[in-house]
Amino acid sequence: MKTVLITGATGDVGTHLSRELAGKYRLRLSDKRPLKPPKGQMFVRADITKMADALRITKGADAVVHLGGYSVEGPWEAILQANIIGCYHVFEAARRNGVKRILFPTSNHAVGFYRRDQTIDHRVYPKPDSRYGVSKVFGEALGSLYADKYGMEVFMIRIGNVNPKPIDKRRLSLWFSPRDLAQLVSIGIDHPDIKFEIVYGISANKRAWYDNSNAHRLGYRPQDDSEIYAEEVLAREKPSGDPIAETHQGGIFCTAEEVPNPAAPKKGKRK
């Protein structure tokens, strides 16, 4: 059984993922916040802004799923520490410890300034919608470097929105159900032929803005489609009065200086 390190394990995505992957891999969960791990999983407390911690948690892993970081738009200093310095530490620690496979759940916000009337694929030029989006583009660039220069196997998932159900109109296009998340992450961990790939982390949503053919080529067969929730979601949708947010894929990340986490309104929540 492969040992898989999940950083940022106390966040929403980490919580869904560790529940869905339980029993499939030997999970090593990590976060700077404490966590009582579910039975059969282990937890290591670590702060990835410290290289020594990143080295300690990556040692002996077969693959790393690096979810840890600042998960929304917010102050530059917080993003710099968690998403630039922390991200570098995780890639570099994995390299030094001989961990070949690394999955980096990047974000729809790396390309959030594309318009909603455009369909984009994995080859488009990044168009970040926020400082947070820029930090995700940094992670994508770092992954590309580590793949080309050091032969690491890097799987980038531009995640839409992981939730049991889509929460608003924008998320009807971006929804990523927990079981589809687990399927795509498993492909990233187990596919025998990954060098550097970018895929979109969304379910089979009828309203998707992405051409996710690269994920399909690698075997992804999403089970869920947000459309079954469309009527109830659209009935409670209120106009935001923000024409930029409403016409661009990133929504309010395109205009706001700080964005609360939709799943957990606490500011600066970790993914």
CA–CA separation, 9 and 254 (whole Å): 27
Q: Does residue number 268 form part of the binding site for ligand 15L (CB under 6 A)?
A: no
Task: Choose, by CB under 6 A, the member of 7, 30, 108, 130 that binds ligand 15L.
Answer: 108
| Nearer to ligand 15L among residue 25 and residue 176 (C-beta) | 176
The catalytic residue among 25, 88, 132, 146 is 132
- Which residue of 72, 82, 185, 254 would you call a contact of ligand 15L, by CB under 6 A? 72
Q: Which residues within the stretch 206-265 sit at the binding site for ligand 15L (CB under 6 A)?
A: 261-262
Nearer to ligand 15L, 72 or 93 (CB): 72
Does 156 bind ligand 15L (CB under 6 A)? Our answer is no
Which residue, chain included where needed, has tokens 């919608």? 129
Please report whether residue 194 would count as binding ligand 15L according to CB under 6 A.
no
Binding residues among 5-44 for ligand 15L as defined by CB under 6 A: none
Spatial contact of 111 and 98, defined as CB atoms under 8 Å apart: no
Judged by CB under 6 A, does residue 71 bind ligand 15L?
yes
Least distance from ligand 15L to the Cβ atom of residue 60, Å: 28
Specify burial of residue 192 (Cβ count, 10 A radius: 0-12, 13-18, 19+): exposed
C-beta separation of 227 from 202 below 8 A: no
Using CB under 6 A, pick the residue from 107, 135, 203, 226 that binds ligand 15L.
107
* Long-range contacts at 226-229 (CB < 8 A, ≥ 24 apart): 226/166, 226/171, 226/172, 226/173, 226/175, 227/172, 229/165, 229/166, 229/172, 229/175
Closest C-alpha among 3, 44, 15 to residue 163: 15
Catalytic-residue membership of 125: no
**What residues act catalytically?**
132
| Residues of the shown chain interacting with ligand 15L in the complex, contacts defined by CB under 6 A | 71-72, 107-109, 161, 171, 174, 261-262, 271
